[in-house]
Amino acid sequence: MTYADIIVDISHEKVDRSFQYKVPEELQHKLQVGMVVTIPFGNGNHERKGYVIGLSDTPAFDTSRMKELTGICSSEETTEERLIALAAWMKNQYGSTMVQALKTVLPVREKVKAKEKRYIILNVSEEEAEKIAGKLESGRCKARARLVRALLEEKKLDYTKASKEFGMTASVLRPLADEGIVQVVQDEVYRMTVDGANIPHEELSILTEPQQEAFDQIQEEWKADPPRPVLIHGVTGSGKTQVYMKLIRQVIDEGKQVIVLVPEIALTYQTVRRFYGWFGEKVSVLNSRLSAGERYDQFKRAKRGEIQIMVGPRSALFTPFSNLGLIIIDEEHEQSYKSENSPRYHARETALYRAQMENARLVLGSATPSLEAYTKAKDGEFRLVKLDARFEDRPLPKVSVVDLREELREGNRSVLSRSLRKAIENRLKCGEQAILFLNRRGYAGFVSCRSCGEVLKCPHCDVALTEHNNGRLVCHYCGYEQPRVEKCPVCGSPYIGGFKAGTQQIEQVLHKNFPKARILRMDYDTTRAKGSYEKILSSFAAHEADILVGTQMIVKGHDFPDVTLVGALAADLSLNAADYRCAERTFQLLTQAVGRSGRGTKPGEAIIQSYHPDHYSIQTAAAQDYEAFYQEEMAYRMLMDYPPAAHMLSVLVSGENEELLEQGMDYLAKFVERIASRYRIPVIGPAYAAVGKVNDIYRKVLYLKHRDERILQDIKDKTEKYIELNSGFRRLYIQFDYT
């Protein structure tokens, strides 16, 4: 016998409340999680629709009192049903509960009342109103006359505006309302994020020849049945955005809707403004600072068909459009498209699934595509479209690489190399701007030699070891450990240790070196206050400063025409992150950073300072050669069986009690080892997770790698069942993730 957990009321705040039903014999093999079924409900046993969120072999209560579901509906009829099917797919794909998946897909409605806006309208015919206005004027009721005249002109007056603009008061309004001449009505208004109404309309640019060619190739692909997802590989400044806009226009002209995903960090006023300028009231913009209620409002507008375009970070993917035509993912390689919470979905993969399900088209774009997307494009699964030149053939910046070990040998211990210092000096002289970028992404206590650049790595996993407080060096994939070293194992130099400089120290060094320069700093500290991020960016754009120094947040997508120098201070810090993707991240960040230089009419320059000047990710970024980078990096992934050459599943276990966690992980690892051994897959770890302890919660992780994803899925499903059936895991939190 099978029992189904069903939610009846999908009113968003009630997804936790489920009811169990018996599954009739003939449906037992057909029924799956995510399906829509008919059930008798309540005292009158009225037929209702329900959503299956779980199936089990054991009843949760007395079966004699349990009702039986009556049938399976053909699901995926309504927008909501399709989204629930999407949640079911995410649950299976990424490993989470159905409730977690539903809560990700359906925005939670908060118990907040929409703010109400009051309007005044005429309650009589225009002719009559004319007469009344005349009478009021001759009777010297000027204020009342003015109100009626204004209504004759505008039909509908905003209450607040009316009181502000022509001093309308309640005593003016009341007699008119009492006589039934005017009426006050309330409209539900949405909590708007940016007021799009005041932004002047802008025409779309005319595409350049290469842009038009890219557009045409996409049109050609869209004629295929079914069209493949498109990957636009376009260098920084090539005009990918212009191509997206034309595609959006086309799709909304067909009467369909569009979702545009952009990285959170790029959701600046500039971006939002451009969208409103082009598409006006048809657009809504989400960002993660919106409250759940605000997000809910925007989704409601989408559902009612009041908007056609939703722009936002990964959660915008779940906008309930009824006739979705296109999903665009800009900067598809961005890490922020991967969710950190269960289900740990990737927006790219999830968008692909949603697009297939709803017959919508998918367009990805990047100057530095993810290895995943580019591999699919090479295999022909995606259509590759290229934009190789910058707009108006503006040259890409001239890039040079400085060897920091050489600087040390020459006695220069400053964070600024001699050539970078000279270049900054020159920029200050000509009144141009410079960006200095300290690459700290993924920075986590690695140990390197300042003399020869050697980084201590795990002999099994080929990723950097991390120094712990107890002084031991640890691998976060497999748990390998070794004691700290006093001397570099390669060159014998004693200059071996962690890298300490931060943006603040760099700012001080700059002040000392260039006392007259105006300097802005942008990092986690200076952007915590609301609005400060925008303030720094707009101040720099207005040329109120000469140098902008900051972390990776300064290199993303900004367009500063006066910037002609970009310096990457220690380009390879991110190369040493304890993560197999670190070379890819380094290449992406450097390419993006270099791309900030010379975007205006003046040609640009970039200087990359590095302890590994020969590393392929530095070399290929300097040459702006994506293809060469891809070849090198793929060879490494193939050799080590890292994605996308293989798939990698992690099982993260966390809990407050370290002993309990150790025990739980032991059991779990044994179980996983047992099934994995059937497929001859070794289990890597368990080890302490990269961040081993957060807020007093301990975390351990193990990994599995295999080329066939279905096998990992099978292991995951069995492990999920095992966890469900064992009460010993109740006090631990277990999360699956495809890393």
Q: Which residues bind ligand ADP (CB under 6 A)?
A: 205-208, 211, 234, 236-242, 391, 559
Which of 23, 259, 461, 465 touches Zn ion (CB under 5 A)?
A: 461
Q: From CA 13, how far away is CA 460, in angstroms rounded?
A: 47
Which does residue 104 touch among Zn ion, ligand ADP, none (CB within 5 to 8 A, set by kind)?
none
81/737 with CB nearer Zn ion = 737
354 three-state secondary structure: helix
When asked if residue 403 is in the footprint of Zn ion (CB under 5 A), the reply is no
Q: Based on CB atoms, which residue is closest to Zn ion, 243 or 582? A: 582
Residue 47 C-beta: closest distance to ligand ADP, Å: 52
Q: State residue 251 phi and psi, 5-degree precision.
A: -70, -40
207 binds, among Zn ion, ligand ADP, none (CB under 5 to 8 A by kind): ligand ADP
By DSSP bridging, strand 36-41 and strand 46-56 are antiparallel
Q: Is the dihedral of CA 557, 558, 563, 565 positive or negative?
A: negative
**Closest separation between CB of residue 49 and ligand ADP, Å?**
44
Is the Cβ of residue 239 or residue 442 nearer to ligand ADP in the bound state? Answer: 239
Q: Can you give the three-state secondary structure of 669-734, one letter per residue?
A: HHHHHHHHHHCCCCEEEEEEEEEEEECCEEEEEEEEEECCHHHHHHHHHHHHHHHHHCHHHCCCEE
Q: How far is the CB of 83 from ligand ADP (least distance, A)?
A: 30
Q: Which does residue 239 touch among Zn ion, ligand ADP, none (CB within 5 to 8 A, set by kind)?
A: ligand ADP
What is the rounded CA–CA span in Å between residue 184 and residue 243? Answer: 46
CB-wise, 334 or 572, nearer to ligand ADP?
334
Matching residue, tokens 């009051």: 118
With CB under 5 to 8 Å by kind, the binding choice for 208 among ligand ADP, Zn ion, none is ligand ADP
Query: Is 653 one of the binding residues for Zn ion (CB under 5 A)?
Result: no
CB 593 within 8 A of CB 435: yes
CB 699, min distance to Zn ion, A: 17
CA distance 504 to 584: 27
User: How far is the first Cα of the chain from the last one, in angstroms, to the nearest whole number?
Assistant: 37
Non-local (6+) Cβ contacts of 646 within 8 A are 637, 705, 706, 707
Q: Residue 579 binds what, of Zn ion, ligand ADP, none (CB under 5 to 8 Å, by partner type)?
A: none
- Which residue, chain included where needed, has tokens 């376009």? 234
| 371-378 vs 626-640: helix crossing angle, rounded to 10 | 100
For 204, the 3-state DSSP assignment is coil
> Which residue carries 């399976």 as its tokens?
72
- Please enumerate, by residue number, every residue annotated as part of a binding site: 449, 452, 458, 461, 475, 478, 488, 491
CA distance 417 to 419: 6
Nearest one of 323, 393, 390 to 359, comparing CA atoms = 323
Check: CB of residue 262 under 8 Å from CB of residue 313: yes
According to DSSP, residue 346 is labeled B
* Smallest distance from ligand ADP to CB 239, Å: 3
Please report whether residue 449 would count as binding Zn ion according to CB under 5 A: yes
Closest alpha carbon to 123 in 165, 159, 152, 80: 152
Provide the minimum distance between the beta carbon of 382 and ligand ADP in the complex, in angstroms, as a whole number: 18
Exactly one of 81, 332, 407, 454 binds Zn ion (CB under 5 A); that residue is 454
DSSP lists the bridge partners of residue 22 as 3, 68
Q: Which of 354, 302, 368 minimizes the C-alpha distance to 326?
A: 354
Report the nearest approach of Zn ion to the CB of residue 442 (Å).
16
Nearer to ligand ADP, 18 or 241 (CB): 241
In the complex with ligand ADP, the residue whose CB is nearer, 208 or 323, is 208
Q: Is 455 an interacting residue with respect to Zn ion (CB under 5 A)?
A: no
Q: Which one among 89, 296, 477, 736 touches Zn ion, defined by CB under 5 A?
A: 477
Contact mark string toward Zn ion, 405..444, x via CB under 5 A: ----------------------------------------
Taking CB under 5 A as the criterion, the residue among 262, 309, 415, 475 binding Zn ion is 475
d(CA 720, CA 481): 30
Q: Which candidate, 271, 218, 224, 225, places its Cα nearest to that of 246?
A: 218
Residue (465 or 537) nearer to Zn ion, CB? 465
The entry of Zn ion, ligand ADP, none near residue 537 (CB within 5 to 8 angstroms by kind) is none
Q: Which is nearer to Zn ion, 415 or 458 (CB)?
A: 458
Does 460 help bind Zn ion (rule: CB under 5 A)?
Answer: yes
**Residue 19 touches which of Zn ion, ligand ADP, none (Cβ within 5-8 Å per kind):** none
The entry of ligand ADP, Zn ion, none that residue 242 binds, CB within 5 to 8 Å by partner kind: ligand ADP
Closest CA to 687 of 715, 733, 713, 652: 652
Binding-site positions for Zn(2+)? 449, 452, 458, 461, 475, 478, 488, 491
User: Quick one: 461 or 606, whose CB is closer to Zn ion?
Assistant: 461
Residue 454 interacts, among ligand ADP, Zn ion, none and using kind-specific CB cut-offs from 5 to 8 Å, with Zn ion
Map the footprint of Zn ion across residues 478-537, applying CB under 5 A.
478, 480, 488, 490-491, 493
Q: Which does 2 bind (CB under 5 to 8 A by kind): ligand ADP, Zn ion, none?
A: none
Sequential DSSP letters for 27-74: GTTT--TT-EEEEEETTTTEEEEEEEEEEESS-SS-GGG--B--EE--
Question: 681 with 646: CB under 8 angstroms?
Answer: no
Which region among 41-49, 163-171, 424-432, 467-475 touches Zn ion (by CB under 5 A)?
467-475
If the CB atoms of residues 409 and 460 are measured against Zn ion, the closer one turns out to be 460
Nearest-approach distance from CB 479 to Zn ion, in angstroms: 7
Asked if 689 is part of the footprint of Zn ion (rule: CB under 5 A), the reply reads no
Number of helical H runs and strand E runs in the chain = 21, 30
- Binding residue count for Zn ion, defined by CB under 5 A: 15
237 binds, among ligand ADP, Zn ion, none (CB under 5 to 8 A by kind): ligand ADP
- Check if the beta carbon of residue 234 is closer than 8 Å to that of residue 386: yes
Within 540-579, which residues bind Zn ion (CB under 5 A)? none
Our CB check for ligand ADP shows the closer of 387 and 436 to be 387
- Nearest to ligand ADP of 127, 203 (CB atom): 203
The residues binding Zn ion (CB under 5 A) are 449, 451-452, 454, 458, 460-461, 475, 477-478, 480, 488, 490-491, 493
